[in-house]
A and B are shown apart, each in its own frame.
Chain A
Amino acid sequence: MFRGKWKFLLGIILLVMIVIAVYVFFLYQQGGTEYYNPPVKKIDDPKMQILSDMTVLSQTVEAYYAKNMRYPDKLEQLKPEFIDKIPLETGTEKSFIYESDGLDCYRITVSQPSRYGFKELFIENGKIIQK
């Protein structure tokens, strides 16, 4: 009777120890310098993706203003100082429509807003307008 119980208890302790050892090994294995990189974020929803890309672009345009006291004439001027790659519209891979008077007004528009479930979708001077 007792032997059976002891065996069971030892089995459990062994199992817990194995689980802990595997977990510690996992933590150790994930801590190498090859893992010195940020987690990759993926957005599956095209609607969320387009909103995220537009927000990033708008923030980058605002950062350009903070340095130059004027908005860029075209998005390419943001490269490479403020952004590595200008995002394209998800799905269509078209460029965002960018308009600016250079001084105090800019607008980033999506060419086909209906594709993402909007009648209108644009960012004007940092404010997102979605209808």
Chain B
Amino acid sequence: MYTCIFKLKLVLILNMMFAFSCCSAPGRSFAGDPTKFRLRNDSAGLWVVESLKLTPQQIHLIVSPSTQNGQWIVQRLPGRDESDQAPVTVAGKWLEESGVVVFRPKYPFREGMNFQIVEKSDSASPTVQWSFLIPKPNDKPPQILEIRPVSNQWPENLLRVYVHFNRPMARGESAKRIQIQDATGRALIQPFLELDQELWDRDGKRLTLLFDPGRIKSGLKPREEDGAILENGHRYTILLTKGWPDSHGMATEKTYEQNINVGPADRNPVDPRLWKIKPPLAQAGAALEIQFSDSVDTGMAIRLISILESGECPLDGRAEISADGLVWKFIPNVKWSPGLHYIEVDPALEDPSGNQLGRPFERDIAADKESLMKSAKPVRLTFVVPSTS
């Protein structure tokens, strides 16, 4: 503790020295003249430090130092919450670029952190030349947009929950920031499957949470010991506590809460025969609409439902699904052609409880040996685009 305070004081003293002291390599140091340094965003969007107003001889000395004496070192200054307060050297190179000396860090400077440039000396303590802060890219805290299923009535055997954020978030937080409380405010024991690799989308904005399957299925040991997670007829609150950092370290300011009423288990396989199809008109921008009989997984539905023209050519286009997983729309990149079309549904399509096409998540192997084979092929539905004439 005292060591930390001492080191912090040392850093402050070094910073003060930068303001008042002279330097060890006369004619080169800029102590007292911070205007000669500049922070710049380069063409690749990376922060670099520039040192201006140097003679060619000075540039040579910095870019190719022959001794430690007079060498410029860039250091990261630890934040207040770090246990070790000693400055840390930043790997990188001083380069000459168009007559200006530029420091390019090996890895990008972390946003929101303080750095300093010190000049080494054989005869005295290093002298701080300049201190700088890398600004954070956002000045507002990140937000949780929604939790899917958006419905506040969840089946008691719900398998998968998506949390949508408005910007890329940091990994490794979900176990400590997500909680489900029952109606008495008691937190449920480890409701979600803990994974070393949290399941994020590529943009880092959607987190997949899987309820522990051992506590969803009938007659299982985890369920007997710890109880079912969600029980029919009960009310719960899912909480995402504040302080969840985004990928740049800025944290959510508010705890997100959603109340849930739990209904009976959904053990019905996904059944496309029950879907209602609204064919589009044969005009540009018209949408094909499918109304599902029950919610389907909003992530998979975008990926696993294809539209084929009568010649069996898949149509490129934009698919979207309502947040409740009940309505799917597709607009092709080209104008619809009149005539017969196919909707091809991949057998992997699931509902939020993990039931697939023709195959429930929980399958009695003794009674249903063939269901895997039955569900292994895509299912096709047809619709006709009417002629506009």
The answer on A and B forming one complex is no
